Amino acid sequence: MRTIKLYDTTLRDGEQTAGVNLNSTEKLEIAKQLERLGVDVIEAGFPAASPGDLEAVKQIAAEIKQSTVTALARSTKHDIDAAWEALQDTPHPRIHVFLATSPIHMTHKLKKTPEEVIALAVEAVRYAKQKFETVQWSAEDACRSDYPFLANIIEQVIDAGATIINLPDTVGYYTPQEYGQLFSYMKKHVPNMDQAMLSAHCHDDLGMAVANSLAAIEHGADQVECTINGIGERAGNAALEEIAVALAIRSDFYGCQTRLHLKEITYTSRLVSRFTGINVPPNKAIVGGNAFAHESGIHQDGVLKEKSTYEIISPELVGVASNALVLGKHSGRHAFRDSIKRLGLVVEDAVIDSLFQQFKKLADTKKEVTEEDLFALFTDQHMQL
C-alpha cells in the first residue's frame, strides 16, 4: 500500500478564508491538534506577510516535534529569509516557495516573460536550498499553464534543488480527469521527475477539490495539500477529513493509506470551527452535524436492523460516539420505539399506538421532534391515564 502524505494548510491557505484571523495562541493550539491528528506536514503560515504571522510560525516551530513544519515564501530573498528565521527551532523544517506559471498570471500579475519566470524560480530555489535541506516548489495556477513550459520549469527547479513539486489548481478550474492527466503528463515529460515527489493542492470553486485531489493520487501524487473543514480562499480548499476518510474507506479502490489518527477528526474540525468562526454546514461530509444522522423511517429501520444498510462510515471511526436517529415526520414506529427506550421510558404496548399518532401529528408541525418533546408527549399521556 502506498502511504500518502497529508499536508495541512489550515494555518496558511485556510487562514486566507475571508473574515478569518487567528491569533498566535489559536494557531499554536490548532497546530498541536494537527500533530495529534497525525498530519505529516503543517504549513504554519506566511512569515513575510506580517510580524504576527512570523511570530506565530516561530512559536509553532518551537513546539511541534513530530510533524514537518513548513512556511510559505514568494520567490524573493526577503520572504525566504523570513521563513528561515521563523523555522529555526523545528527539527524538520521545510520551505514552500512558489511562483505563478500560467500566461494569465505571468502577463497580468508578474508582468514577466516565461524566460524571466524560469530564471526567477531557479534563483529562488537555489537560494532557498542554501538554507533548507527540503525545498518544496509550487507552480501557482499550474492548471492554466502551458504544459511543455511547466515541464521545463519543473525540470529546472528540480535541478536547482527542489525535492517536492506542487501543482496547484489555484482557481479550482479543473475536472478530476484533467487534473489526473496533468500529473501523468509531468511524470512522463519531466526527465528528472523521479528525483522529486509530486503534490496536489486543490481549490473548490467548482466543488471538485476533493475529487481532484483523489484523482491526483491515482495519477502519482504522493502528497495532498488540504485544510480542516475545507476552509480557504473563496470556496475553500480540499477538505482534509474527506480525503483521509475516502482513502481509508475505499482503500480497496485507491490502494493507499495515510498516517492519520482518524478518531481525532471530529475534535479537530470543531476546534478549527470554533477558532475561525466558520460554521460547518450540517450536511458536510464526515464532520457535518448530520453526517451520521438518519431521519427517514425506512433508513432508521434499516440502520436499527443492521448499520451497514445506510452507513458506510462508522461514526466511531472519526471520533463520534454514535449515530443519531432524528425524529421527524418521516420517522417510523421502529425509531420512535427506540427513542422512547433510549430515554428510559417504559410504554406499554397498549398505549404505544396512540402515543405514536400524537408524535406524528407533532412531527408535521416541526422540523425535528426532540427528546424534550417526546418526554412531554409521554407525561401528558401518562397524566390522562
List of residues contacting Zn ion (CB under 5 A): 13
Cβ 175 to ligand KIV, closest distance in Å?
17
Residue 326 CB, nearest distance to ligand KIV (Å)? 37
Closest distance of CB 99 from ligand KIV, Å: 9
Taking residue 44's Cβ as centre, other Cβ atoms within 10 Å add up to: 34
Is the Cβ of residue 98 or residue 292 nearer to ligand KIV in the bound state?
A: 98
Instruction: For residue 78, give the C-alpha cell.
Output: 526577503
Given the complex with Zn ion, which of 13 and 53 has the nearer CB atom?
13
The entry of ligand KIV, Zn ion, none that residue 329 binds, CB within 5 to 8 Å by partner kind: none
What does 140 bind: Zn ion, ligand KIV, none (CB cut-off 5 to 8 Å by kind)? ligand KIV
- By a kind-dependent CB cut-off of 5 to 8 A, residue 98 interacts, out of ligand KIV, Zn ion, none, with ligand KIV
Nearest to 63 by CA among 97, 96, 86, 95: 86
Minimum CB separation of residue 205 from ligand KIV in Å reads: 11
Shortest reach from residue 21's CB to ligand KIV, in Å: 18
Taking Cα atoms as reference points, which of 236, 248, 107 lies closest to residue 172? 236
β-strands 223-226, 5-8 pairing: parallel
290 is in an annotated binding site: no
Annotated binding residue 330: no
Facing residues of 219 across strands?
A: none
- Footprint of ligand KIV (CB under 6 A): 13, 98, 138, 140, 166, 168, 170, 201, 203
Closest CB to ligand KIV among 201 and 219?
A: 201
Q: Which residue has the cell 436517529?
A: 325
CB closer to ligand KIV, 15 vs 295: 15
Name the minimum Å distance from CB 345 to ligand KIV. Answer: 54
Residue 96 annotated in ligand binding: no
203 is in an annotated binding site: yes
Nearer Cβ to Zn ion (13/15): 13
Nearer to Zn ion by Cβ, of 141 and 264: the residue is 141
Beta bridge partner(s), residue 139: 99
- Rounded CA-CA distance 373/361 in Å is 12
**Which one, 46 or 292, has the nearer CB to ligand KIV?**
46
Q: Which three cell numbers stand for residue 352?
A: 404505544
Q: What angle do helix axes 147-160 and 176-189 make, rounded to 10 degrees?
A: 50
CB of 41 vs Zn ion, minimal distance in Å? 14
Binding residues for Mn(2+): 13, 201, 203, 237
